[in-house]
Amino acid sequence: MKTALITGANRGIGREVARQLGAKGFHVFVGARNAKAGRKAAAEIAKEGGKATFLEIDVSDNKSVTAAAREFSKIADHLDVLVNNAGIMLDGDDAVLKISDDILRETFETNTLGSLRVTRAFLPLLRKSEAPRVINVSSSGGQLTGGADGWAPAYCISKTALNGVTVQLAAALPKFAVNSVCPGWVRTEMGGENASRSVEEGADTIVWLASEAPQDLTGKFLRDRKEIPW
Ligand SMILES: NC(=O)c1ccc[n+]([C@@H]2O[C@H](COP(=O)([O-])OP(=O)(O)OC[C@H]3O[C@@H](n4cnc5c(N)ncnc54)[C@H](OP(=O)(O)O)[C@@H]3O)[C@@H](O)[C@H]2O)c1
């Protein structure tokens, strides 16, 4: 049975990716730092007929990530798909010349280092897959092409750096498919209720990369199943 771990899967885009992969026959590991919310999301996926296991993981905490990899290996012997979805945009992330170092650090710790940290910790399990895939949920806010408009600078810089993590991992792991995805503007707690896309639409390219995309598609930035500029 194929396995997938999605971080930040208790709500928003992550939960929808987990739901869809569960419906496709994956054993999904619902990664969440909040145990109650993670268990609830896993139970909802199981109710729909998917195989879902809650996995406690705070991507900003090395100990939590290491413990999660240990816990995972008690349940499954390989990991086919890792979706680094957990992400934050902090209050006060308003203007590049004014944001505090603390906001920058905290945002990086989760959005950028978190994804690298989780990938490293699960690498031995990913290496046991016949076709390992790592999907980093990024944002067009991190695109350098076209310049910036000043919105959420710490968040955007963290996603630019996450895209750097993607290309570095793709180079270091030639048998893997490692890609960044922009889900578009999605109606979640982060995206807000006025966003243009549903969670189903936001999850689409991520689920496609996890399950159907060619294994040799790697080191790219994608939206709507198509490559976009960095
Ligand atoms: N929504 C959009 O329009 C949009 C656009 C572009 C990119 N994205 C990206 O898509 C991803 C998902 O966003 P979303 O819109 O679904 O946001 P969301 O509804 O705010 O959900 C974020 C998820 O990440 C989790 N998370 C945050 N920090 C964590 C940590 N340290 N460890 C583990 N989990 C953590 C949250 O858990 P808690 O419930 O415990 O807080 C929550 O499950 C993010 O990477 C985001 O940057 C979103």
Q: How far is the CA of 7 from the centre of ligand 1 (A)?
A: 9
In what order do the strands lie in the sheet containing 51-56?
51-56, 27-32, 3-6, 81-84, 133-137, 177-181, 221-223, 226-227
At 174, the pLDDT band (50, 70, 90 cuts) reads: very high
Q: Examine the residue annotation and report whether 155 is marked as an active-site residue of this protein.
A: yes
At 1, the pLDDT band (50, 70, 90 cuts) reads: very high
Ligand 1 close to Cβ of residue 205 (< 6 A): no
Q: How far is the CA of 2 from the centre of ligand 1 (A)?
A: 24
Residue pLDDT, tens place only, 186-198: 999 999 999 999 9
Ligand 1 close to Cβ of residue 11 (< 6 A): yes
Q: How far is the CA of 19 from the centre of ligand 1 (A)?
A: 16
- Which letter does DSSP use for residue 192 in this model? -
So what's the pLDDT on residue 126? 98
Q: How far is the CA of 71 from the centre of ligand 1 (A)?
A: 23
Ligand 1 close to Cβ of residue 58 (< 6 A): yes
Q: Which residue carries 């816990």 as its tokens? A: 71
So what's the pLDDT on residue 128? 98
So what's the pLDDT on residue 206? 99
**Catalytic annotation, pick one of 24, 155, 175, 226:** 155
Q: Examine the residue annotation and report whether 175 is marked as an active-site residue of this protein.
A: no
Site to probe by mutation for ligand 1, drawn from 33, 56, 112 as the one with most ligand atoms within 8 Å of Cβ, is: 33
At 45, the pLDDT band (50, 70, 90 cuts) reads: very high
Q: What is the Cα Rg of the chain in Å?
A: 16
So what's the pLDDT on residue 58? 98
Ligand 1 close to Cβ of residue 88 (< 6 A): yes
φ, ψ dihedrals at 72, nearest 5°: -55, -45
